Structure 1
Amino acid sequence: MTPSPQNWTRVRRLDADRLSEELYARTGLRLTVEGPCPGGEVGAAYVRWPDGRRSVLKWRPDTRIEELRAGPLAVCDVLRAHGYPCPSTELALQVGHASVLVQELLPGTPVDRLDHEGLDRALALNEAQAGLLAPRAGIPPMPLYLLDDGPGYCLHEPLRRHSRRSRDLERRITALGADRPRLLTGRDVVHHDFHHGNLLWTGGFVTGVVDWDGACRGDRRFDLVTLRFGLHASEQAPGVADRLDDILDGLPEDVLRVSWAHMSLRMVDWAIRHFAPDEVGHWIDLAERRL
């Protein structure tokens, strides 16, 4: 059962307090937990250092810190070297089965409603991700999971069991995956969860892009498909989604179709397992537009 928002906040607070004590025992650094970060599906909390500086404590269960260093953290190092507004990692430790990170707290607040200026900024950020990983061949490419399950997301069985529409959608996804590579390759940075809620904004400018936990190598245009699914979650400024749809219409079919299939599987599976039953059809409606 998915915890209620109140219980989820309490669980995150307990985890953050426990991890703060573990970090103190390991490093001698005392971080005071202020409270959970708003939103998101993974653990994150605001913490304060002894000198008063604030950071973000994040933890990922069933993840090895070596995997993060070889993938997402390496990607963020490349981004920051090119002036991209990506948070630095101030501390990274393995605590049992979980990877624990303390990351820079960037200024700004998340974008709740994307307008045309915000879309312009998002598109510029996406363009800035092009080709950055050309010299970093060791950073892993993005898996698509069109034929098999991802690690806790992109699960196929929930779609097979839920309804006729979701079963039909899953069949189309696997049929497409049977004729395509299992990886989305490329030389670009892929954020992997590039929606407007992960953009920090202040004074008319994007001051940060956060939640790089799934960052990898691939085709940056995948993130535009992710952004389109993010716009579907809530009402946006008039014309913004249509404008992004026009951009997607111009993408190469081999990029657009597999990216759309991946995001359709990801969001419909997540909606079935975590959202209210009447929300599932909302995501199937979007998925069926291009599948």
Structure 2
Amino acid sequence: MGAVSSSSSSWARVERLDAARVVDALRVQTGVSLTLEGACPGGQVGAAYVRWADGHRSVLKWRPHGSVEEMRAGPLVVTEVLRLAGYPAPAAELVAQVGDAVVVVQELLPGRKIEHLGQSELDQILHLNQLQADRLVGRAEVPAMELYLRDDGVGYCLHEPLRRHNRRSAALERWIAAVGADHPARLAGDDAVHQDFHPGNMLTAGRLVTGVVDWDGASRGDRRFDLVTLRFGVHAAETGPGVTERLDAIIDSVPEEVLRPAWAHMSLRMVDWAIRHFSPAEVENWMDLAEQRMS
């Protein structure tokens, strides 16, 4: 799985790329011919199904403003380490630099994304989260997760939209900033952290959880951050009886030094995104959840 050097490209921004152009660029740069089959379901930007010459199918992904070196020092290390522990994360089959994008062709795992999260699925997800513990001990090349409680992220976790939206969101932003002042800027720990650990990134076949996908933001930190992400994820998903209440009880046991910054980060992430992309009613819905643990 060797890195491929970038050739000169007229593509100034990855957002302008489409899957067909990425496939063409990979053929020119690597000599690998892939057949494009179509976009991945759910409107996911930057992901498509492709077929190799031998007939097997994979997922083609491209990440804006990234590099092969960053991918190899972070997400690919995380997934490779987890796969060795039996974790159902996809293997990377090809990695290349295309303009200012890092392109990954990865294993297509069986199953479909979780549409309804029941107790059986939750049991399996909690087991997978436990497998993430201490997996990055001795892997100092993997960066710790940045929380962005004091400063903006790149395109997400922006503070100004909360300050401007209304009094309620401004109060939430002040709480987030106060949490940031009391905690380190990066998440502590040597666990593997997915960062986007929600049902839409989990696959099932029948009642069996067959995969966790979309590890582009994977980093080092505390695995319990992903449980907080999951709690925000079930807020917008269908769940079986008692699932949300059980998850809340588990999160209640997370130490405050982990829970507060994790909750503040997810509150910032979801409310900011809703303000900029969704309806006022959805903003209020996310603030309802965020305020449950403001203290």
Tell me the TM-score normalised to structure 2 length. 0.92
Paired position in structure 2 for 1:89: 92
Paired position in structure 2 for 1:8: none
Distance in 2 (alpha carbons) for counterparts of 1:99 and 1:12 = 12
Structure 1 residue 277 corresponds to structure 2 residue 287: no
**Aligned residue runs from structure 1 range 1-291, under 5 A:** 15-39=18-42, 41-291=44-294
SS in 2 for 1:93: strand
> Given that residues 115 and 238 in structure 2 are in contact (C-alpha distance below 8 angstroms), is that contact kept between their aligned partners in structure 1?
no
Where do 4+ consecutive residues of structure 1 move more than 3 Å? Answer: 11-14
CA apart distance, 1:195: 0.5
Q: How many residues align?
A: 281
Report the RMSD for the aligned CA atoms in angstroms: 1.5
CA apart distance, 1:204: 2.2
> Given that residues 12 and 36 in structure 1 are in contact (C-alpha distance below 8 angstroms), is that contact kept between their aligned partners in structure 2?
no
SS in 2 for 1:184: coil
Deviation digits for residues 93-152 of structure 1, max 9, x if unmatched?
111111111000001111011001111111000001111111212211111100001111
> Given that residues 46 and 57 in structure 1 are in contact (C-alpha distance below 8 angstroms), is that contact kept between their aligned partners in structure 2?
yes
Distance in 1 (alpha carbons) for counterparts of 2:89 and 2:249 = 28
Distance in 2 (alpha carbons) for counterparts of 1:24 and 1:69 = 21
SS in 1 for 2:18: helix
Change (3 A) 1:238 1:12: farther
Paired position in structure 1 for 2:5: none
SS in 2 for 1:146: coil
Q: Which amino acid aligns with 2:223?
A: R
Paired position in structure 2 for 1:3: none
> Given that residues 274 and 282 in structure 2 are in contact (C-alpha distance below 8 angstroms), is that contact kept between their aligned partners in structure 1?
yes
Tell me the TM-score normalised to structure 1 length. 0.93
CA apart distance, 1:235: 3.0
Distance in 1 (alpha carbons) for counterparts of 2:92 and 2:130 = 24
Distance in 2 (alpha carbons) for counterparts of 1:227 and 1:40 = 21
Q: Unpaired segments of 5 or more residues in structure 2?
A: 1-13
Distance in 1 (alpha carbons) for counterparts of 2:97 and 2:219 = 20
